[in-house]
Structure 1
Amino acid sequence: MDWMIMLAQLLLSLSFLVAVHEMGHLLAAKYFGMRVEQFSIGFPPKLWSFRKGDTEYAISAIPLGGYVKISGMIDESLDTEAMNQPPQPWEFRSKPAWQRLIVMLGGIVVNVIVGILIFIGLTFFLGDTYILKDEINKSGGFLVGPIGEQIGLKTGDQIVKINGKEFKYLQDIFNMETLLSTNGSYTVERDGKELDIPIPADFIENFSSSKSNPGQFLSLRMAPVIAQVQPGSVAEKMGLRAGDRIVEANGAPIQYKDQIDKQVQAMVKDSLSGNSDTVAIKVNRAGAEVAMKADFKNFRRQKMLGILVDSTPSEDFIKRAEERVTYGLIESIPLGTKRAFSMLTANVKAFGRVITGKLSAQKSISGPLGIMKAFGNQWDWARFWTLTGVLSLVLAFMNLLPIPALDGGHVMFLSYEIISRRKPSDKFLETAQKVGMLFLLALMVFIFANDIIKMVTPD
């Protein structure tokens, strides 16, 4: 059932983006008097269609793209028979180069506009909810996971600067600009001293692989409040209850969940090695301290205390740390536009690092399966529209790449024609289209295979 929810979100998002992209081509072509033979969402075989005027509108079976067939244009159909006929006034090839260029840019422009509008809408309707960095630092700093430890962070670190500059919100630590910054660093306060922790150029690869489990990088240090006691466990024998806050374990003071985890591991190790079978826990229960002891000897096989510690922030912390910001429509327009272009810039930077070899293509590039996973197994409209906005901008950028068979390939050849005033031959354009299609087919095979490998390979 989970995969069906993810797939439904992916198909809805892609269908919407393909529709508006191809509509951009269609509207521009019709404006300049070109005949549009077919408008299709998805690739053949055709599932359903209707005709209006000269244009057939269709929904096809393979929902991973779409196309607009404009008369007199060398495109995916490679209709060479039609191209051998004399040019007609309504055909793409009969129009001035500048008009043809606008038609080919139409889909890209619409995708950029749609991406901007989505981010403006998200800003206006949802606003922002931030977590104040200072409140995290006051509460004991961060709990650092293995990916954070790889770059030199340690549990208890208080992150005070990013790239040498003060910052205010937790979200600044994770944003794309920070992770893709050149010579980036986190400045942390540890044991009363400030240290600079460099952010490796390829760190975003590890960060992206940990998104399904954010604690692999950084998470909040939670108070050790028991959420659940396992029946028949040492904890139950001792008398521990849900709601107890652990303040001491075997004589060691406890402030955070990660500390009790370490103490439990030490208790188990001592018991299994025969050094000690006594478990001593002190808790705060309804404002009073309660001390408890148990013999671990008969529970060695469990190798655990039998408690589940609450991993959600307390209401008091949320009240202190959360900052809610709302925006009027006038404020949302420049802010949403800025966020859209920041997202686009970050993706262009990441693509550049892949091309130059600074980032692994295998780890950094995701296809339909990877995108489907990003939507999640629960329908969250805020996440859906955020990802759709990002995809719209990425689609615009990828389509602008100067690869034959993409809009950018046509833009490249039309730009050459406008500058040189020489039109490439139809034979050359046909050959370029075939080469581009083969390249894109090979790229799609790589992306699908890469998605499958990442899904079956543990992070």
Structure 2
Amino acid sequence: MSMLLYAAGVVVFVLAILASIGLHELGHLVPAKAFGGKVTQYFIGFGPTVWSRQRGETEYGLKAIPLGGYVKIVGMLPPGADELGERTPDGALKVRRSNTGLFTQLVSEARAAEWELVGTEDADRLFYRMPWWKKVVVMAGGPTVNLLIAFVAFAILFATYGIKELVADDGPPVLETVATCVVPFEETGRECTDADPMAPAYEAGLRPGDTITSFNGTPITSWDQLKGLVQRNADGTAVIGYERDGRSFTGATSTTVEARPVSAEDTTLRQVGFLGVSPTTHVETTTGGPVFTLREMGRMTVDSVTAMVHLPVKVWDVAQAIVGLEERDPNGPMSIVGGGRIAGETVSSERFETTEKLAGLAFLVGGFNLFIGLFNFVPLLPLDGGHIASALWEAVRRGAATLTRRPDPGYVDAAKLLPVAYVVAVCITVMGAVLIVGDLVVPVHLPTE
């Protein structure tokens, strides 16, 4: 039964991602057709064609490798002014090929392949001839669909299951744990050694079960208050009042240790006060509607953008983990393979109730769609954001020319950025391959507790 549940979790997750890919591409196809553009292909996946069917001028189908999809919109690349050639007997524009350099050749080949699909009747249907705002709508349609899928998944999740968080108990903090030593942040999780300094709280005499009542003479009423006082303890001197078995005690220590992160959300290393304790906690559930969902998605968006900035470094860490040079970060990036594994473990785990399993799947699907949507808005070709940036730059150029009464500069030639697109595509492919291998060789698992 466990294996069947695991397989079911994987299948549900993969189908959800494939549906997301299909809807993403529909986000491009629908407005492109609505604006009169010519769309010749709509495919989910890459590689050999598994199935396809022609409907009107568009071929719809599935390909063997379900790691993406594409819509072929004719006329994405305008012909270069010096590359325009005569038309072939069937009316297609023949673009001259250049062989003056590698990148020039690649650009020329791309133009030629693009314009082999263009006939005389298509002149007014070419993507590059659309007004800039229509180009933005067409290219933003795909990632916007992913963000909408994420919103729906999170809205259902937050309205029903909610967000469950461990929150410190009310009142003066009762200690759940007291660290015996200070382990360097980079080595978090390992056991203490004789070379590690004693943790400040342990040095002051504090032990699990104690209640902290004062810090440097200030009465303590909550865990958050204590955290703030410790972190702002500039000179490090600390006199801590605490109770144990109904008796009052006082201990002295220094809260100055090596640089550490301020919180789980802000992992930037700073010199802040540190005690080495955690309070007793309870689970609190917070639910909310659309506004709550948008607020939470805003927070997740900040985290996702931060993750994208550090993505190359994180992928390099995965590569090192593959060859055994370091442990894999359980909070690092993963591919759809890793997401499927987590989905399978979530559904097959005996630790979770059915509602928790459904919530876990919804969070996975929403999280992947949020990241995919945001990533596609990165203003670099071949991502959708690169085409959006080109369209916006066209609007700026033409608007500035109109205001200054200069000649119209014409359409922005996205083909000139193809060398950048090739480099970005190679980087994305390599990072994707590393993550897939990492998810197979050193996979991330659900926490055991």
The bucket for the TM-score relative to the shorter chain is 0.5 to 0.7
Of 319, 326, 343, the residue aligned with 1:375 is 343
Shift of the alpha carbon at 1:74? 4.8
Of 406, 409, 416, the residue aligned with 2:386 is 409
> Contact conserved, 1:26 with 1:68, CA < 8 A, in 2?
yes
Q: What are the residue-to-residue correspondences of 1:266-281 with 2, within 5 Å?
A: none
TM-score normalised by structure 1 residue count: 0.58
Q: Percent identity?
A: 24
Cα 1:445–1:190 shift into 2, 3 Å: farther
> 1:35 maps to what in 2?
38
RMSD: 4.5
Q: What are the residue-to-residue correspondences of 1:349-360 with 2, within 5 Å?
A: 349-353=306-310
Where does the alignment leave 5 or more consecutive residues of structure 1 unmatched? 167-186, 207-216, 222-316
Amino acid at match of 1:15: L
Q: What are the residue-to-residue correspondences of 1:326-337 with 2, within 5 Å?
A: 326-327=287-288, 332-337=289-294
Q: Distance in 2 between the 1:19 and 1:345 partners?
A: 26
Matched, 1:102 2:137: yes
> Contact conserved, 1:37 with 1:69, CA < 8 A, in 2?
yes
Matched, 1:121 2:153: no
Q: What are the residue-to-residue correspondences of 1:158-307 with 2, within 5 Å?
A: 160-161=223-224, 164=227, 199-200=260-261
Cα 1:38–1:218 shift into 2, 3 Å: farther
> Contact conserved, 1:108 with 1:396, CA < 8 A, in 2?
yes
Relative to structure 2, which stretch is displaced further, 437-446 or 31-40?
437-446
Where does the alignment leave 5 or more consecutive residues of structure 2 unmatched? 79-108, 213-221, 230-237, 243-249, 268-275, 319-328, 348-356, 399-408
Of 61, 65, 68, the residue aligned with 1:65 is 68
Amino acid at match of 2:15: L
Q: Deviations over 1:321-352 (max 9, x none)?
A: 4445554xxxx110011111111111212333
> 1:343 maps to what in 2?
300
Q: Distance in 1 between the 2:425 and 2:315 partners?
A: 26
Cα 1:365–1:427 shift into 2, 3 Å: same
TM-score normalised by structure 2 residue count: 0.59
Q: Deviations over 1:280-313 (max 9, x none)?
A: xxxxxxxxxxxxxxxxxxxxxxxxxxxxxxxxxx
Relative to structure 2, which stretch is displaced further, 132-141 or 417-426?
132-141
Shift of the alpha carbon at 1:130? 4.4
Matched, 1:446 2:434: yes
> Contact conserved, 1:404 with 1:435, CA < 8 A, in 2?
no
Q: Distance in 2 between the 1:40 and 1:452 partners?
A: 27
Shift of the alpha carbon at 1:89? 1.7
Cα 1:361–1:138 shift into 2, 3 Å: same
> 1:232 maps to what in 2?
none
Q: Deviations over 1:139-161 (max 9, x none)?
A: 65148798367896978388923
Q: Distance in 1 between the 2:392 and 2:19 partners?
A: 29
> Contact conserved, 1:5 with 1:378, CA < 8 A, in 2?
no
> Contact conserved, 2:41 with 2:60, CA < 8 A, in 1?
yes
Amino acid at match of 2:151: I
The number of residue pairs the alignment matches comes to 325
Of 354, 360, 365, the residue aligned with 2:333 is 365
Secondary structure of the residue aligned to 2:123 is coil
Secondary structure of the residue aligned to 2:261 is coil
Secondary structure of the residue aligned to 2:224 is strand
